[in-house]
Structure 1
Amino acid sequence: MLSTTPTAASTSALALALRDHFSGVILPMWRGPGFNAALKLPFEALDVNHRPVPPQRYRAMACARQLFVSSQAGDAAHAHVLFHSLTRTFRDIHRGGWFYSVDAQGVPLDTTKDLYTHAFVVFACAEYARRCGSHDALEIVYGTSELIQAKFAADDDLLNAALTADFAKVTGLPAQNPLMHLTEAWLVARDATHDHAFDATLLRLAGAVSRHFVHPKSGCIAEFPVGTQGNRLEPGHQFEWFWLVNQAGPLFEGTGLAETVSRAFSFAQRHGVNERTGGVCASLDEERRIQDATQRIWAQTEYLRALAIHEEPTVRATLPRQMELFKQRFLRPQGWVECMTATGETARADMPSTTPYHLATAFNALPV
């Protein structure tokens, strides 16, 4: 661990330390040992010694997240390579849309048409277009967004989670996570294009989420439509929705989401965050009992990001302590801890290529 005891360091100094670790340790991992120079794709994961975990697949979503990170970091050269790898490797030129994954040789493996994947293609290409001025990326933002609305459409403005390769059969019903990341993607696309057509699209999606996913007892946005047997509530997603709805400003007025996410934040903080360690658990059941006590790093970053923009001074005042606890518990001199048990043991030792996206978005939201 980087230190052992929480300090009273200022928020800005802590934020600087986190950003320095990201730029000095994490970014170089994925420019060097984490990048397969032959296939021009990021490996799925590195071990603690920065050796690639033997690849079984490469996912479009992972490539897209790395494209976002490189674009946001101002590494235009690497972003350019990743953009062309994304379009060359994962685009289904015959049936449209994007493959979920390719195998270790770069041959299509899982050809499912996955909404989560398509959302990240829009998200990454919008950021790449905004940072690097790519007209080709903007075409993908518009084309993929139109395809999503045409092919994934379900009842009452919802969208299905997955379809067969030819879009003919639904294999995954509407679920919270892809809808959340599509909201994220279209917010970035709206900023990148200044096209108000995304306003109406986002408003319909927000309304559908509000009608179908808001858990009445807790105010949380559930993982599956309310009434689904075995539904669960993920604290990390409540913090993520809190950030997204606040980023949307007045756009979602009338949908009820602003009130929902404020209530959900309080519920998730009260029942999903360990008061002593600051660790955010993976999930709660519908009766607010901890269902999965695993502490995944992405949920911790979403908590940091939500705290950074919370309007209540007493809530925001907890940010420095939370940043220090995060640094101690989840960052290592040569990387990070991906998953931890509630008692502090490492539950997953390797470091996935998808995680820098969570770190980048959180650290960039922290006060300077």
Structure 2
Amino acid sequence: MTTIDKNQVGEMVQHQSAEMTAWLNSKALPIWATVGADPGKGECYESIDLATQKPLFVTRRARVVPRQIYSFLEGAKLGWTGQAEDLASGLYKWFLSAYRSDEGYFISSVDVENQVTDQSFDLYNQAFALFAFAQIAGNMPESRQDAEEHASNLLNYLIENYRNPQGGFREANPDKLPLCSNPHMHMFEACLAWEAISADPAWQELSDEIAELALNHYIDPVTGGLREFFELDWSPFKGDNGRVMESGHQFEWAWLLARWGRSRCDAGALIAARRLYDIAWTYGIDETRSVTFMALNDDFSVRDPIARLWGQTEWLKAAIALAEISQGPERDAYLSDILDAANAMRVFFASAPDGLWRDKMSPDGDFEDEPAPASSLYHIVCAISELNRFAAGR
């Protein structure tokens, strides 16, 4: 890991923030707002081909639309001068018309003609719908009431049809296994976004419930690592898949629990966040490639050495969150990690055309030859937004 004189770190963090924000505003958001979206139709695409720098006209997953709504609106806060509200408004209307089922949940995908290709319920997609509605409500006053109504309707639908009596939500109705921590992580993120703009106690109550699930069930009480898959009672899923601990999710939960723990003055959550970070940093980063890789087993041995771009963004966010609650040498270590994580992100940008990125790095350091996925923009924007905020507040 990087060793830097602590007197230089603050200046370097600000330099990284300035460079990455400039890249986002001048390179990434412009291409995703034009090539990666069709503003005239109010639609967006799944990916952009690196060779032709054209969109691929393939099935479009529901989770991508809320992510792009967030990315454009948050980009405007970071100084992007594109038509953020127009883009977000168009995507919002399209999302409601193309993805909302008659039952009240949001389906999984449509094709380029907006014909349904996957009608299924996925809790992950519902979490991102709630997240998108929070972005609309918080940033577009003329659409706030409408977004609040859609969010309330969806939350009520989930409670009525997918509530798990053991806490959180089921994956299907009738039940199917395993239950997953990942969609709850994004539900947690959506609730925290709603908390920031709404006085409705439902959001704080659900935030607290998911935090308690994480602290009492998702996180192994012996090792402090967070699992991915569970039985209906939130005990670890039986078999080998019950051992999965994704490095990027250790970081992402550390970021969320640090935020929640600060807001609730909950020391246990802050301790858990630090432990999650320590596990991912110690066991989930390949020092040869200087990147965090995909997954560990529950004994912290390497399970999947592929490194993905999104994992680097979560490393950066977690390092920032823990730097903010630390002092002295511990804070200095997190500050150094901020630089390492930012550099890891930039490795995925370096060999791609301006504003695009590579997604997967093999164990030997080569990148898979594949299109740039639109879904990564949300991760990138959020990480740069956190870095920008932290650098500005030093």
- State the TM-score, normalized to the length of structure 2: 0.84
CA displacement at 1:256 relative to structure 2: 4.2
In the alignment, what sits opposite 1:281?
293
- Secondary structure (helix, strand or coil) at the match of 1:109 reads strand
Instruction: Give the direction of change, closer, same or farther, for the CA distance of 1:205–1:320 in structure 2 (3 Å limit).
Output: closer
CA displacement at 1:359 relative to structure 2: 0.3
In 2, the alpha carbon distance for the partners of 1:89 and 1:205 equals 29
1:266 is aligned to 2:266 = no
In 2, the alpha carbon distance for the partners of 1:317 and 1:97 equals 41
Task: Map 1:88-107 to 2 at 5 A.
Answer: 88-92=97-101, 94-107=102-115
In the alignment, what sits opposite 2:341?
322
- Secondary structure (helix, strand or coil) at the match of 1:342 reads coil
Do the aligned partners of 2:291 and 2:307 also contact (CA within 8 Å) in 1? yes
Instruction: Give the direction of change, closer, same or farther, for the CA distance of 1:149–1:254 in structure 2 (3 Å limit).
Output: farther
In the alignment, what sits opposite 2:5?
none
In the alignment, what sits opposite 1:309?
321
Task: Map 1:243-258 to 2 at 5 A.
Answer: 243-250=255-262, 256-258=268-270
Do the aligned partners of 1:293 and 1:342 also contact (CA within 8 Å) in 2? yes
CA displacement at 1:172 relative to structure 2: 5.0
The letter of the residue matching 1:355 is: S
What's the Cα RMSD here? 2.1
- Secondary structure (helix, strand or coil) at the match of 2:368 reads strand
CA displacement at 1:17 relative to structure 2: 0.7
In 2, the alpha carbon distance for the partners of 1:277 and 1:364 equals 25
1:84 is aligned to 2:97 = no
In 2, the alpha carbon distance for the partners of 1:207 and 1:176 equals 12
In the alignment, what sits opposite 1:124?
132
How many residues are treated as equivalent by the alignment?
Answer: 355
CA displacement at 1:24 relative to structure 2: 1.2
In the alignment, what sits opposite 1:159?
169
CA displacement at 1:39 relative to structure 2: 5.0
Deviation string 1:10-49 (CA, Å, 9 cap, x unpaired) is: 1111111111111111111221111145753211111113
Do the aligned partners of 1:203 and 1:251 also contact (CA within 8 Å) in 2? no
In the alignment, what sits opposite 1:4?
none
The letter of the residue matching 2:287 is: E
In 2, the alpha carbon distance for the partners of 1:91 and 1:330 equals 34
In 1, the alpha carbon distance for the partners of 2:211 and 2:383 equals 23
The letter of the residue matching 1:128 is: I
* Structure 2: runs of 5 or more not aligned: 1-7, 77-83
In the alignment, what sits opposite 2:70?
68
Do the aligned partners of 1:220 and 1:267 also contact (CA within 8 Å) in 2? yes
In 2, the alpha carbon distance for the partners of 1:354 and 1:172 equals 26
Do the aligned partners of 2:64 and 2:374 also contact (CA within 8 Å) in 1? yes
In 2, the alpha carbon distance for the partners of 1:203 and 1:262 equals 19
2:55 to 52, 70, 74: 52
- State the TM-score, normalized to the length of structure 1: 0.90
